[in-house]
Amino acid sequence: MNTLIIPCAGKSNRFPNMKPKWMLTHPDGELMIEKAIKGLNTEIFDRIIITIVKPHEEKYEAGLILSQVFKNNPKVEICMLDDFTSSSSETVYETLTRMKVEGSFVIKDSDNYVKVDIPNPITNNITGYDLHKHQNVSNIPQKSFLIVNNKEIIEDIIEKQVVSNVICLGVYSFEDAELFKHTYIELKDKEIKGEMFVSHIISYILAKKETAFIFVEADDYSDWGTIYEWKDVLKNYRTYFCDVDGVLLKNCGKYGRINWSNNKETISENIEAIKMLQNKGAQIIITTSRTEEYRQDLENLLKANGIKPYAILMGLNHSARVIINDFAPTNPYPSGIAITLPRNGLIKEYLQ
């Protein structure tokens, strides 16, 4: 049996005054827990176990929501612990024991996206990311680091010390559940101070030379481990309502020698600024007072300039446009932002 375990039994202290972080909604509409699983080749698993706690079930309907999210995936099971655990390694140990997990298994953090093909059959390995190849990693000092030799064998894994150019991404594979369980009990009996991470379990195994762990390199990675990283995601996926005349095109009206029928003079700097936002994940909604008869011409012009709008709202009043939106910890203030440009002005000066 191959089992995937997603530990979600922590208090999410890095996300104060919010629901458990794995329950937060990504701007694209999926929960963080959905995206956390999505990058893996899940077809290799016979079971997918998500471990949660009763306090989150009672306050946030965590179990109910998981059953709704994964209703079409018969592999998904929920392990409900009575209370919060002291560490991710305790969560995994309790899951292995209570859910009677046997054979090989993989642990995957709930607060990041990792694109990787986990080797099948599952061996002892750790998924990592080479910082020399990838520049899109934040909060580097708080990562765990892998020391990997030239044969791709992991010599050690160290928490929150920059000792190499390879970070661990929170995807750990074990050939045998018994190896994890007996190591956890052995370390627990030593009464180690502080939180016992999964990395400590593996480091201890490596120190005893009990078995080897192999380095597996991920293809892609996005981290949401802190509220600051999550807010960066929200920022990249904002929805922008963008006017046409005087913003994307040099301003003109319906009538006159230069008008809506023949004006194709773009403000190139603004076109590039909108494309940059679009490429980062933003939704672009085009707003204009131009009426429906000009839609096809406008669509063709936008397409020719590389802008792919989520929607185009035609025939709006030639007047001020006001955004009304609610704010909350999950959609923080200000949740409605306005940029008012001087006619034919440059967007980038205001985006900064």
User: What are the pLDDT digits (tens) for 208-246?
Assistant: 988 999 999 999 999 998 888 888 889 999 999 999 999
pLDDT at 146: 96
Residue 250 has pLDDT above 80, yes or no: yes
Under a CB-based contact definition with an 8 Å cutoff, are residues 179 and 205 in contact? yes
- What's the average model confidence in pLDDT over 76-92? 95
Helix (H) or strand (E) holding 99, with range, is none
- Return d(Cα 97, Cα 99) in angstroms, integer: 6
Q: Which of 113, 144, 321, 73 is nearest to 219 (CA)?
A: 113
Tokens 């190139």 found at = 268
Following DSSP, what letter does each residue of 282-350 receive, concatenated? -EEEEE-S--GGGHHHHHHHHHHTT---SEEE-S--SS--------BTTBPSPSS----PPTT--SHHH
**139 — pLDDT class (breaks 50, 70, 90):** confident
Answer yes or no: is pLDDT of 135 > 90: no
Q: Could you read off the pLDDT of 103-126 as tens digits, one per residue?
A: 999 999 999 999 999 999 999 999
Confirm or reject CATH 2.40.160 for domain 238-351, answering yes or no.
no
CA–CA dist 45, 176 (Å, integer): 14
Q: Is the entire prediction scored with pTM above 0.85?
A: yes
pLDDT at 349: 85
Q: Measured between alpha carbons, how far is 262 from 96 in angstroms, rounded to an integer?
A: 68
Q: CA dihedral in degrees (337, 340, 345, 350; nearest 10)?
A: -30
Are 227 and 234 within 8 A, CB to CB?
no
Give residue-wise pLDDT tens across range 306-340: 999 999 999 999 999 999 999 988 788 888 999 99
**In the prediction, which pLDDT does 328 show?**
84
The CATH number fitting domain 2-232, selected from 3.90.550.10, 3.10.20.740, 3.40.50.10420, 3.30.70.260: 3.90.550.10
pLDDT in tens, 33-83: 999 999 999 999 999 999 999 999 999 999 999 999 999 999 999 999 999
| Residue 90 confidence (pLDDT) | 95
| Strands annotated E in 149-213 | 154-159, 166-174
**Residues of the chain with pLDDT > 90: what percent?**
82
pLDDT of residue 141: 87
Domain boundaries, the chain: 2-232, 238-351
pLDDT of residue 165: 94
Which range has the worst mean pLDDT, 182-196, 202-216, 253-267? 182-196
Cβ burial of 34 (10 Å; 0-12, 13-18, 19+) is: middle
Tell the burial category of 124 from Cβ atoms under 10 Å away from its Cβ (0-12, 13-18, 19+). Answer: buried
Give the pLDDT confidence score for residue 303 in this predicted structure. Answer: 96
Residues 6+ apart with CB under 8 A from 167: 128, 129, 131, 137, 140, 143, 144, 145, 146
